[in-house]
Chain A
Amino acid sequence: MAIATKPKTGFWAVLWDLLTTVDHKKIGLLYTATAFFAFALAGVFSLLIRTQLAVPNNQFLTGEQYNQILTLHGATMLFFFIIQAGLTGFGNFVVPLMLGARDVALPRVNAFSYWAFLGAIVLALMSYFFPGGAPSVGWTFYYPFSAQSGSGVNFYMAAILLLGFSSLLGNANFIATIYNLRAQGMSLWKMPIYVWSVFAASVLNLFSLAGLTAATLLILLDRKIGLTWFNPDIGGDPVLFQQFFWFYSHPTVYVMLLPYLGILAEVASTFARKPLFGYKQMVWAQMGIVVLGTMVWAHHMFTVGESTIFQIAFAFFTALIAVPTGVKLFNIIGTLWGGHLQMKTPLYWVLGFIFNFLLGGITGVMLSMTPLDYQFHDSYFVVAHFHNVLMAGSGFGAFAGLYYWWPKMTGRMYDERLGRLHFWLFLVGYLLTFLPQYVLGYLGMPRRYYTYNADIAGWPELNLLSTIGAFILGLGGLVWIYAMWKSLRSGPKAPDNPWGGYTLEWLTASPPKAHNFDVKLPAEFPSERPLYDWAKKGVELKPEDPSHIHLPNSSFWPFYSAATLFAFFVSVAALPVPNLWMWVFLALFAYGLVRWALEDEYSHPVEHHTVSGKSNAWMGMAWFIVSEVGLFAILIAGYLYLRLSGAATPPEERPALWLALLNTFFLVSSSFTVHFAHHDLRRGRFNPFRFGLLVTILLGVLFFLFQAWEFYQFHHHSSWQENLWTAAFFTIVGLHGLHVVIGGFGLVLAYLQALRGKITLHNHGTLEAASMYWHLVDAVWLFIVTIFYIW
């Protein structure tokens, strides 16, 4: 049996184990713990906010302090709690179990994602200890406010970029896992609904994250080197920032919702002792949300003065998205209908969710009515609405998941009474906090006000009520922490399947063993409830032959790589750019990747069967590339807008076309050489393969050198601070150059693997991923030549 079971002793051994683990369950636990810690922290921030607002003209916080806390509250809740808990937290722990897999598709990438995520939190919070303080521009960091505000914004931008990197890898990993590692016999339509919801959320994030990356990158460039797309003094458009930002930040509210809809459906089915009502319709509704979710972003911008027809189009899709969301809610009620409801804590959260989300859905439809939105926008009505869907919606979903899977994750039961007390305090506290805020919206109170005058009817009383509610929520939080602590300390041992769950995670021990399943899973999945079906049919589960179990090796390099990348972002945020430290950390990061690439993922070279027949690296990269295409697409769309509206006009002297064409030749040829190299490898011709790879790398280097020379020349002719076209040129072409470096480095890793004899006929994921990436770099370049050099 290939399972290394090291006896754990002492603090350092445990720490080392956590730093090097690639076990999806440990990583899932780390994600979950970190996300809920972020929830608690952001909850404390919210109590500071409500304390300040308890009475008019309060002096508890200054305006600047208030804005900092407000920004951290929003950013922490959204980026570090609500997106994470349901997706990366429970997702990492549960999805492989539900699929009957032993780990995720790319276990080391998974570990890297977690450590990068942790680095992002540290980056965002550490800004507080620097002279500029924490960011104070709101989690939305609108231009030009964010370009002029204190240095906290640098850390915030760096944190978002690092987090984006982490979450894209995580999303691609989930999709590769879902495509490749399903148990034999489990078709897509037999997957548990929660797996579907993780799939939907991952796809949506891969498609839309580009908007946030573009917005963040451009703010950071503006602040660090004065490169600007938005500055109105040179014809830039501050509203373009908002288009970028909301292109991501609206879809992401569905990333924040979908996994929880999956959790709630699972809990409803288990505790009603019934199958899901309308499983397929729920899946379609989910995919409908994904599609519509990308078409509604401008409803956050109804007040910026866009044309009426533009607003009507977005109002339409915004109203429309209420339908699939409503369908999900009805189907959950349908699942409960006629069941034998086991009134346990997780079910309470589901019921609370339905009630609260109903309110949030109704007020969401009100907000879609644009003329009313002109009034509600940026008022406390909106604050109440999004807390209704995110805090009392997704947040309740997070707690449903936590109480549902707690016994599985920790191996301990919790005190039902404490769980229910927590629920009731949260429900009452929630309603008392936010129902008055709806009224405050009607009474004209704008959001993000650190204080208010006493001479407006209703404001002082309603704000005081809201603050009282917030402290009831705080009390609920204490009960929650006590319940968790008590369970860990003295909770009774949890049975394998305490709730009678129907999905495969309940087949494992509580907590699951390192290899998850002791038994060999039958290859028949009549429905999405295998345990129910197998029990009905009386299928007998036979133990798995231990020699068939292979687990990936622990590795230090994911943690090391994430840590050096984190250090790189710290030096970018804290020091003027460029600086020596960032190059040092980048070099250390590259060293980590080399060590990672040369390390064996598995001790024994084994053939890994995948459902799709494609390697895990291929599948992961294919989906990761979706996000890269998105990033270039959104930046190019922004450039086209600036160009066609006449704001961006090329300077007299432009970079030469002949050089670009020469570079095109290099890059296109290199796509061929890498293709033939791969071809040679598959034929088992190792020497031509290595040679082809080397030629590809050299062509890439040539391209890069010519590009660098061109940049150097052009930089002296035209400044990105003064000309929008030049700014767009350096951003997009420069970003492409960065991709050439990344892709080229990937090829170098594959080349090093080949030199060490680590690339075999069937096991060459790094090469597959790197060459696919290289083709992307090539394709993007053809667009760039057209829109920057020829046009």
Chain B
Amino acid sequence: MKRVLMALSLWGLALAQEVHRVAITHPGGSYNQEVAFLFPWVYFFSFLVFLVVAGALAYVVLKFRAKPGQEGEPPQIHGNDRLEVIWTLIPLAIVFILFGLTAKALIQVNRPIPGAMKVEVTGYQFWWDFHYPELGLRNSNELILPAGVPVELEITSKDVIHSFWVPGLSGKRDAIPGQKTLLRFTPKEPGNYYGFCAELCGASHSRMLFRVLVVPKEEFDRFVEAAKAYTPPVADAQGQQVFQQNCAACHAVQGKMPPAVIGPELGFAGNRTSLAAGIVENTPENLKAWIKDPTALKPGAKMPGFPQLSEGDLDALVRYLEGLKVEGVDFKALPKF
């Protein structure tokens, strides 16, 4: 018995490490923490209403079904004014209470936070770009944030409407072309958070994922320092050459904002936990498969496939890309939410 329990708990642990535990109730950030108090209220009233109405329904079905051989007609009651007033007023009262709480929470979560770190978030079909204007840094598809520091995301889109959503941290906000929407929260708990595009944007809407990597403040500072002084390392000279010939027209590797953005920034590709906007794990095999045929993983992706690259060139390119990283930080061990 003990053994079985042990095995089960080990299996559970293993499972917990493998998968992301995504939940809107996860208190990973200030947003989710601040709205959490609404749930008990609404559950309480929901339960109450459910109990009364479903109870009445069950009672009606059991008590008032016609008995065999029943004669005559039931009492012909046309209504009861007092009862009707009561069952109008009680829901009205419940609704007013919930509305008051709603207004309170809404004002709280939308208020500006002084001293928040700005990040410009831009949605593209089908990936995300993150630019830190105050730090002069840029990264794509993985947003790195320090725990405990408030952020203000300035969200927009360069094509159709997208929506930025990280369930474990905060509610969502739409990315609308020509407009800037703001989302403010303080990430609290370090972790690797799943992010999603939540507005239908095309054939690969569901392949427009991302990650938010919430890291301890010291680690974030270390990363920023190294990133500011970043010169893209060359782990493989042949790979660099292949990159220059095939990839550099669209992808930058400086970790800074290029004059015109075409494709995702690859400056910190080696630090990424995921590939292709969060849809697969960052492994050399996945990266090779992606480069050969991106549309197999993401239909409608603008990146062309490179089946013509020789196996050697491909290996060199992947070595070069995996080497594009800041040393001394490790995002892969973060707990997954």
Contact = CB atoms under 8 A, between A and B. Distances in A.
Interface of A: 62-64, 67, 136-138, 140, 142-145, 148-149, 232-233, 236-239, 272-281, 303-305, 308, 311-312, 315-316, 319-320, 322-323, 326-327, 329-331, 333-334, 336-343, 351, 354-355, 358-359, 362, 365-366, 368-379, 441-444, 446-453, 455-457, 527
8 contacts: A137-B200, A305-B176, A338-B64, A341-B61, A358-B57, A371-B171, A373-B171, A453-B209
B198 to A, nearest CB: 4
A319 B98 contact: yes
B78 A64 contact: no
A333 B177 contact: no
B74 A371 contact: no
A333 B60 contact: yes
B79 A365 contact: no
Contacts of A351: 57, 61
Given A327-B88, A338-B64, A303 B172 contact: yes
Contact of A456 (B22, B76, B201): B22
B57 to A, nearest CB: 5
B300 A63 contact: yes
Interface in B180-230: 181-182, 194, 196-207, 209
Nearest to B24: A375
Contacts of B160: 142, 144-145, 148
Nearest to B72: A340
B101 A451 contact: no
A452 B88 CA distance: 44
Given A444-B22, A444-B194, A144 B38 contact: no
B127 interface: no
Contact of A281 (B84, B98, B299, B300): B84
Contacts of A327: 84, 87-88, 91
Given A64-B299, A333-B53, A337-B60, A457 B171 contact: no
Chain B contact residues, majority secondary structure:
mixed
A136 B64 CA distance: 49
Nearest to B207: A63
Contact of A277 (B24, B38, B50, B77): B77
B257 to A, nearest CB: 21
A340 B70 CA distance: 8
B106 A311 contact: yes
A342 B300 CA distance: 57
Interface of B: 15-16, 18-25, 31, 34-35, 38-39, 42, 45-46, 49-50, 53-54, 56-57, 60-61, 64-67, 70, 73-80, 83-84, 87-88, 91-92, 95, 98-99, 101-103, 105-107, 109-110, 159-161, 163, 165, 167-168, 170-174, 176-179, 181-182, 194, 196-207, 209, 279, 299-300, 336
Contacts of B92: 320, 323
A372 B35 contact: yes
A162 B65 CA distance: 47
Contacts, number: 283
Given A232-B178, A369-B101, A274 B171 contact: no
Name the residue in B49, B102, B170 with the highest tally of chain A Cβ atoms < 10 Å from its Cβ.
B102
Given A142-B199, A355-B57, 8 more contacts: A137-B200, A276-B78, A316-B99, A341-B60, A341-B61, A368-B98, A375-B171, A457-B15
Contacts of A453: 209, 279
Contact of A443 (B23, B207, B279): B23
Contact of A450 (B73, B95, B173, B205): B205
Nearest to A318: B99
Contact of B171 (A281, A303, A326): A303
A320 B95 CA distance: 6
Contacts of A280: 79
Given A272-B64, A442-B25, A233 B78 contact: no
Given A62-B203, A145-B202, A444-B23, A369 B98 contact: yes
A772 B73 CA distance: 51
B42 A369 contact: yes
Nearest to B86: A330
A639 B83 CA distance: 48
B98 A365 contact: yes
B38, B60, B177: which has the most chain A beta carbons within 10 Å?
B60
Nearest to B299: A63
A365 B42 contact: yes
B179 A305 contact: yes
A379 B74 contact: no
Contacts of A319: 95, 98-99, 102
Contacts of B67: 340
A326 B50 CA distance: 12
A371 B102 contact: yes
B318 to A, nearest CB: 22
Contacts of A354: 53, 57
Contacts of B24: 375-376, 379, 441-444
Given A278-B79, A451-B206, A453-B279, A144 B20 contact: no
A701 B300 CA distance: 51
A140 B22 CA distance: 27
A341 B182 contact: no
Given A63-B205, A272-B64, A315 B99 contact: yes
A279 B78 contact: yes
Given A315-B106, A444-B22, A446-B198, A304 B174 contact: yes
A277 B87 CA distance: 13
Contacts of B19: 455-457
Contact of B300 (A64, A143, A330, A376): A64
Contacts of A145: 160-161, 200-202
A329 B163 CA distance: 36
Sort A-B residue pairs by CB-CB distance and give the 7 closest, nearest first.
A232-B178, A374-B171, A444-B167, A305-B181, A449-B206, A63-B203, A278-B79
Contacts of A277: 77-80
Contact of A444 (B60, B102, B196, B203): B196
B197 A446 contact: yes
Given A333-B53, A375-B171, A303 B163 contact: yes
A368 B204 contact: no
B199 A370 contact: no
- Residue from B99, B110, B163, B182 with most neighbouring chain A CB atoms (10 Å): B99
Contact of A278 (B61, B84, B207): B84
B38 A340 contact: no
Of B91, B98, B163, chain A has the most CB atoms within 10 Å of the CB of B91
B206 A450 contact: yes
A137 B203 CA distance: 9
Nearest to B182: A305
B98 A273 contact: no
